[in-house]
Amino acid sequence: MSASAPERYPPQVKYIVGNEACERFSFYGTSSILTVYMLQHLLYEAQDAKAYYHYFVMATYLTPLVGGWIADRFLGRYRTILWISLFYVLGHGVLAAWETRTGFFVGLALIAAGAGGIKPCVSAFVGDQFRPEQHGLLQRVYGWFYWSINLGSASAKLLIPLLLLTVGPSLAFALPGVLMAIALVVFWLGRKHYAFAPPSGPNPHGLFRVVGYALSRLGTGKPGQHWLDVARERHPQEAVDGARAVFRIMGVYAAVTLFWALYDQKGSSWVLQAKDMDLHLGTFTLSPAQLQALNPFMVMALIPLFNWVIFPALERRGIARTPLSRMTGGMFLTVLSFAAAAVVQTLIDAGHAPHALWQLPQYLLLTTGEVLVSVTGLEFSYTQAPRSMRSTIMSLWFLTIALGNLLTALVTELVPLTGAAYFWAFAALMLAAAFAFQAIARRYRPVALPQATAAE
């Protein structure tokens, strides 16, 4: 093998990245118009439309728990992605053909099952394609993986709201379904080139068995011994170490939940805010949903900027930016994004109609926070997870998104906050979460876990 070989991306990565770009066009194209579709076509109240949007996002990021479990234990990541994607395609067909409230919820349920079921598998599957000596490329590949997500998202968020506005919901929901079918074909085309990590099958030393035994023996350990170590009476050291790794990672994830409670409001409260702003751009009138396209376009610009300019410049100055320190910075920037949204909303509450581009600063701050938190979170999750539980760990990462959206939906329905006060309240919650994350990150000690080879 040549010395430069480890620096080359595995050729099969292009099939996974191509699949992800098409799949994200499908998902974000559909989700970008849900709030407007509920308001204008299904005639829901604004408060209900916002809550239902977040319940859908929550469901989409809750089903990864099932998808990751199926992949790790039974089907493997490749077959899980292949078969669960069929639910995804069917869901778009239902939305396009059945334009009622019932059809809406059936279609969204199928999409949530499909999108969520494959999500942790795709994220982990791309990492499986790298040999141990290539793991230095992981940070960069997850950056480009995320870049492909936003390529699909950007094009969808420009086109699909325009189709809803000019043609109607049938075509607006059908086109993302076509792209999802293309995503499935692209993924299938790489089948002869992939490196496969086989499923572990039913595991007598799995996470829940280790934790269950440790809980049953709680209080019987030696002084100073970790509470999970008593499980070594029945389970091997590797299984106990894996369980400890999961709990270490979950401690980091806990504070990230608030980030998602704010982040996904670009598809709900920020769309409703844009609806009350001046949407004229020359002779063209924007859809309030189209402003969401600012986010993925900014991501595509910021990922190369950070990977090629900012991070290397910091390293040359001897400033080592660890994954958790990058995520901490992103959390604080997200606070500022909602402070900016609150300032814009204050103008609206005072009877003004500022131009929609006044949302640009809040999108820039939120997107920078996203690059630092979300992209880095994928890298952190893969490198810190035991090999046999990588899909499961990815599922737990996506669980934080589900819980964040559940929080937003509950606050929307139960707490009487309106206007600028709504945005200031979330900014304050995010500030508390950022300080909590900073404290957790300082105590976390990264673990160098054994990496799987292609043969595994």
Query: What is the average pLDDT across 296-316?
Result: 85
| Highest mean pLDDT (candidates 54-63, 231-240, 318-327) | 54-63
- So what's the pLDDT on residue 425? 95
- So what's the pLDDT on residue 448? 62
Render pLDDT for 142-158 as a digit per residue (tens, 0 to 9): 767 777 787 888 899 99
| Highest mean pLDDT (candidates 5-9, 205-209, 314-318, 435-439) | 435-439
- So what's the pLDDT on residue 61? 86
Query: Does the pLDDT value for residue 341 go beyond 90?
Result: yes
CA distance 441 to 257: 15
**Mean pLDDT of the chain, nearest integer:** 86
CB-based contacts of 306, cutoff 8 Å, min separation 6: 143, 371, 372
Helix (H, G, I), strand (E, B) or coil at 219: coil
Query: Does the pLDDT value for residue 4 go beyond 60?
Result: no
63 — pLDDT class (breaks 50, 70, 90): confident
Pull the structure tokens for residue 126. Answer: 């791309």
- So what's the pLDDT on residue 153? 86
User: pTM (2 decimals)?
Assistant: 0.80
Paired with 278 in beta bridges are 355
- So what's the pLDDT on residue 264? 92
5 — pLDDT class (breaks 50, 70, 90): very low
Query: What is the average pLDDT across 324-335?
Result: 94
Query: Does the pLDDT value for residue 339 go beyond 90?
Result: yes
Percentage of the chain with pLDDT > 70? Answer: 93
CB-based contacts of 200, cutoff 8 Å, min separation 6: 72, 73, 388
Closest CA to 265 of 252, 256, 274, 277: 274
- Domains within the chain, CATH numbers bracketed: 8-194+255-443 (1.20.1250.20), 213-248 (no CATH)
| Highest mean pLDDT (candidates 47-56, 244-253, 338-347, 410-419) | 338-347
Render pLDDT for 170-226 as a digit per residue (tens, 0 to 9): 999 999 999 999 999 999 998 888 988 788 677 787 777 888 888 888 878 788 788
Render pLDDT for 106-130 as a digit per residue (tens, 0 to 9): 999 999 999 878 877 887 788 788 7
| Highest mean pLDDT (candidates 217-221, 234-238, 263-267) | 263-267
For 79, 260, 390, 419, 431, the CA distances from 345, given in Å and listed in that order, are 47, 21, 42, 6, 19
Query: What is the average pLDDT across 291-304?
Result: 88
Query: Does the pLDDT value for residue 6 go beyond 60?
Result: no
- So what's the pLDDT on residue 125? 85
Q: Tell me the CA end-to-end span of the chain in Å, nearest whole number.
A: 20
Query: Does the pLDDT value for residue 34 go beyond 60?
Result: yes
Q: Are the C-beta atoms of 267 and 366 separated by less than 8 Å?
A: no
Q: Are the C-beta atoms of 436 and 255 separated by less than 8 Å?
A: yes
CA distance 139 to 377: 10
Render pLDDT for 346-402 as a digit per residue (tens, 0 to 9): 999 999 999 999 999 999 999 999 989 987 887 787 777 777 667 667 778 878 889
